[in-house]
């Protein structure tokens, strides 16, 4: 899942080396924390959050087979 998030976000940003995905796993959920370069935050979020919503939709769909609920936080 971490590789999927990096694959989706890499073409969107100007500083692909600054992409960092941290995983926090709990009992019933897995939280992925995505952090990018400060100049690229707007590109990842998009106008009215449309790109962020699309990224979350893909990640949630890919993780629908898992027993745990998946969340994506964009820092």
Average pLDDT over residues 1-18: 95
**pLDDT of 53:** 96
- Among residues 47, 58, 44, 59, the alpha carbon closest in space to that of 13 is found at 44
Q: Quick: pLDDT tens for 14-47.
A: 999 999 999 999 888 999 999 999 999 999 999 9
**Alpha carbon of 23 to those of 29, 46, 47, 65, 69: distances in Å?**
11, 23, 26, 18, 13
- Domain limits, the chain: 2-74
Counting other chains too, the contacts that 15-21 makes at CB distance below 8 Å and 24 or more residues apart are: 15/39, 15/40
Just give the CATH number of 2-74: 3.30.300.20
Tokens standing for 12?
A: 């969107």
User: Length of the chain in residues, anyone?
Assistant: 75
């Amino acid at each position: 899942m971490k590789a999927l998030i990096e694959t989706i976000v890499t073409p969107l940003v100007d500083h692909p080396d600054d992409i960092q995905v941290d995983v926090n796993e709990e009992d019933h959920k897995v939280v992925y924390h995505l952090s990018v370069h400060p100049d690229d935050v707007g590109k990842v979020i998009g106008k009215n959050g449309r790109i962020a919503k699309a990224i979350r939709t893909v990640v949630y769909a890919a993780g629908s087979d898992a027993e745990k609920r998946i969340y994506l936080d964009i820092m």
